[in-house]
Structure 1
Amino acid sequence: MNRIVNLFTEKKKDILSIYFTAGFPRLNDTRSILAALQEAGTDLVEIGMPYSDPVADGETIQASNQRALDNGMTVARLFQQLQNFRNEGVTLPVILMGYFNPVYQYGVEAFCRKCQELGIDGVILPDLPLDEYLAGYSGIFEQYGLLNIFLITPQTSDERIRQIDNASSGFIYMVSSASVTGATSGVNANMEAYFERVNNLGLKNPRLVGFGIKDRESFERSAKHASGAIIGSQFVRVLEAAENDLEKGIREFVGQVRPAGH
């Protein structure tokens, strides 16, 4: 069974997912960050594939994308860095997140085949529409056991959310607000009303909340309405600040976010 599915089967609440950009802050930090996140107690990791025009992302992640590209990061190089990482004790689910163009340029089937070979569990491609995925790519993803995680926002209609739920396995990425990553601060009443609306739809897939989650308070508040939450921009800032001792910075940050007893 897919590691993502296993995670949500075994752990129903307070799932902590963390995003970082591959090749940031330094080109070869990817493996050490991944190992440190597992050691610190993270449940799920999203590794960003740098792209030159990350339109859904705010200033922090955009800057990390550009620095990673300047460092020489590519999809092919990321695959090289992840070679045999499952043989080195990394057991937590790993998702690659990015934009569809680099995947298309690499070759969709070749990309999916490589993900299966390496032990990647899923992808998040926010600019790949559901209809296009179902018409052209779902069979390839399924052939290689790769889950495609879809996003919903407060503007997504109930009908569309149900369509996404029917087409999904693993979890649904519940974007907390109609903004770019890192643009919001915490969780407000409007977001909570949206979370409740989604909860009342009775979806088959669990959800993780993303965008605007930055600390223990916002994590716990979001996790009340879903299976857990995703931290991205704030963690990228942590990596930049802790560049000279990433392991210590990661351990301290995850320890601050993770609710006591989890």
Structure 2
Amino acid sequence: MNKLKKVFNNKENSIVSIYFSAGFPNLDSTSKIIKSLTANGADFIEVGIPFSDPLADGPTIQESGSIALKNGMNLSILFDQLNEIKDFNTVPLVMMGYWNSILQFGVERFLISCKSVGIAGAILPDLPLEVYDREYKVLFEKHEIPFIFLISPQTSEERIKKIDQLSNGFIYAVSSSSTTGNKNGIESAEPYLKRIQSYQLKNPIVTGFNIKTKKDVEFASQFTDGVVIGSAFINAIKKNASLEENISEFMSEYK
């Protein structure tokens, strides 16, 4: 069974996933962050692939990605880093990035590399559903890497149900149509989250964007299976204490 499915099948409380930009704050931070998040109760971890033009990301994640690129992070280095921890990492890792990075690296090379280091899924927001279904679905399934689709308040019921049919991991419910880390509260997404809940989809749903506090986690988890926290986490690891101390303090609020 895929590691992600085990997490959702065995969950007793809300799933809390953390996003970070690989290569931030330092080039060698990736394994330290994953180890510390694992030790502090993250249910799964989204490893962000830094990209020069991250259209879906707000200022905090854009800045962290820009710093990661300046630090020298790229997919080859990232896979080398993940390879070093694959034998003892116990928390599912999901790769999140932009399609152009994958095309430049090579799609099948990317999928082979993902499988070799134990990646449990891939989120590529700018690869259209129709293109994935027509051209790449067979490749992703061949290498057993679930493709995680995003839905938003503007996504129609018909499209959401098609995504549910194509999915084999979870569905990422973007809580607003703006970028990550904006100032709108998660409560404004209630009608949308209730609408998704009413569809009774076969795949788990995870809410992302605008999740900052424990209250936000509790609110979103009334309607979906869990949350992704990104910008708030990246802000937390900028603090002056050690990376491990910052992560321990941050996670203590949620788990």
TM-score tier, shorter chain, comes to over 0.9
Counterpart in 1 of 2:66?
A: 66
Contact 1:21/1:47 (<8 A) preserved: yes
Deviation per CA, 1:163-204: give whole Å up to 9, x if none.
Answer: 11110011100001111000134322x411111111111211
Aligned-CA RMSD value = 1.0
Paired AA for residue 252 in structure 2: G
Q: Report the secondary structure of 2:186's partner residue.
A: coil
Q: Does 1:36 align with 2:33?
A: no
Superposition deviation, residue 10 in structure 1: 1.2
- Residues in 1 aligned to 2:108 and 2:6: alpha-carbon distance in whole angstroms: 25
Q: For 1:204, which of 202, 205, 228 is the aligned residue?
A: 202
The within-5 A match list for 1:29-178 is 29-87=29-87, 89-178=88-177
Q: Does structure 2 conserve the Cα–Cα contact (< 8 Å) formed by 1:154 and 1:177?
A: yes
Cα distance in 2 for partners of 1:154, 1:241 equals: 34
Match of 1:136, as an amino acid?
E
Q: State whether structure 2 residue 8 is matched by structure 1 residue 8.
A: yes
Report the identity percentage.
45
Measured against aligned partners, the alpha-carbon deviations of 1:17-57 in whole angstroms (never above 9, x if no partner) come to 00000000001000000000000001010010000000110
Corresponding residue pairs, total: 255
Q: Give a deviation string over 1:68-123, Cα, whole Å, max 9, x none.
A: 00000001110111113121x21111001010111111110011001111111111
Letter in 2 for 1:249: N
Please tell me the residue identity of whatever aligns with 2:231.
S
Structure 1 match to 2:232: 234
Structure 1 residues 167 and 204, CA gap change in structure 2 (3 angstroms): same
Distance 1:68 1:94, change over 3 A: same
| Shift, 1:5, TM fit | 1.1
8 Å CA contact retained: 1:40, 1:254:
yes
Consecutive unaligned residues in structure 2, runs of 5 or more:
none
> Partner residue of 1:191?
189
Question: TM-score by structure 1 length?
Answer: 0.95
CA distance in 2: counterparts of 1:108 and 1:86, whole angstroms: 21
Q: Is the 8 A contact 1:184 1:211 kept in 2?
A: no
Task: State the partner residue of 1:253.
Answer: 250
Could you say which residue in structure 2 is the equivalent of 1:24? 24
Q: Which runs of 5+ in 1 are unaligned?
A: none
Distance 1:204-1:13 versus aligned 2 partners, 3 A rule: farther
**Alpha-carbon deviation of 1:131?**
0.6
Structure 2 residue 226 is matched with structure 1 residue 217: no
Distance 2:27 2:42 in 1: 22
Alpha carbons of structure 1 residues 13 and 132: separation in structure 2 relative to 1, 3 Å: farther
Q: Are the aligned partners of 1:186 and 1:214 in contact in 2 as well (CA < 8 Å)?
A: no
User: C-alpha distance in 2, partners of 1:3/1:85?
Assistant: 16
Residue 13 of structure 1 and its aligned partner are, at CA, apart by 4.0
Structure-2 separation of matches of 1:93 and 1:161: 24
**Secondary structure at the residue paired with 2:173?**
strand
Whether the aligned pair in 2 keeps the contact of 1:8 and 1:170 (CA below 8 Å) is no
SS in 1 for 2:46: strand
Task: Flag as ranges the 4+ runs of structure 1 deviating above 6 A.
Answer: none
